[in-house]
Amino acid sequence: MKLSIIDQSPVPAGFTAADALRNTIELAQIGERLGYERYWIAEHHAIDALASPAPEVLIARLGAETSQIRIGSGGVMLPHYSPMKVAEVFRVLHALYPDRVDLGVGRAPGGTPLESYALWRTRGEHPQSDDFGQQMVELLAFLNRTFPANHPFNRIKLSPAMPGGPEVWLLGSSMWSASAAAQLGLPYAFAHFIDPNPTRLAIEHYRSHFKSRENGLSEPRTILAVGALCADTEEEAERLISSARLFRRRIRRGELGPIPTPEEAVGELGDEQSRAGESEFPRYFVGAPDSVRDKLVDMASILHVDELMIVTVMHGHRERKYSYQLLADAFGLKPR
């Protein structure tokens, strides 16, 4: 089973966003050494706790700081941007780091309605129309140079021009994204850690409705992005995950501050049963490494996914690095 990492660049309480970005760079280097397949950067806007509004900038830095691990976006929120500009940016990244760059594309806003409005490509009396499907088709045509001969954009020759290009993934956490990925014949990454309720239905729908495309995939490919946190003991893992649980609760209340310490989280949450009402599979797998591995393998086997992508949010950077190390060891990843 391949393992990868998705990083939201969490900002721990008592530290700065610059610290969080340095943590991201170090974690990418560690992930490469441990044998993780790819390292994706999330896109979030105007959230004090997450220092990652511009994944393409971080990808450029991570490519220079690593040499083998695949690097990419998890993802670029395409409704905010023009397809041509996204294609240009990722062609530059591909030129810098050939055959290592993933372009994960998402439809979600990555922020509140106010931030979405501020990021709109056009503003007026009416809300920006949802033209994501058209944007995706245009983006793929720019990247693959497949505009029809009579299309005006067929005359545009993007630079840098070189063989190949970034590997495009469609990201999502809904049935809509599953259907879109299947129709477009794209590999699909499902964000179980964002919304675990439609996971099984979305993955099954994608696989059963997948349509292969010329110059595309011949069969479906899936990544399942899940939360996981490992520690030496179940008790320590439960203590550490309290920071993420309090963070999620505060986000729902519109409180966007940094990741709290476990001590603060335990004090505020008390004996709250934060996992009550979980879906078929938990949003976060928490515990000793062998236990977490067995549960992840069971889930991946049931859903027939090709790869697991792990997000780990906690306060301590040292403990976060150790969690990824424990998981790599438990899965027997081959170090680079």
Query: Are 136 and 170 spatial neighbours (Cβ–Cβ below 8 Å)?
Result: yes
Q: Which residues of the chain have pLDDT under 50?
A: 273, 276
Q: Where are the domains of the chain?
A: 2-22+34-331
The CA–CA distances, whole Å, from 157 to 13, 84, 87 equal: 47, 11, 11
What is the pLDDT at residue 126? 57
Place of tokens 């150790």: 322
Instruction: Note the pLDDT of residue 274.
Output: 52
Task: Please state which CATH class domain 2-22+34-331 belongs to.
Answer: alpha beta
The pLDDT score that the predictor gives to residue 114 is 85
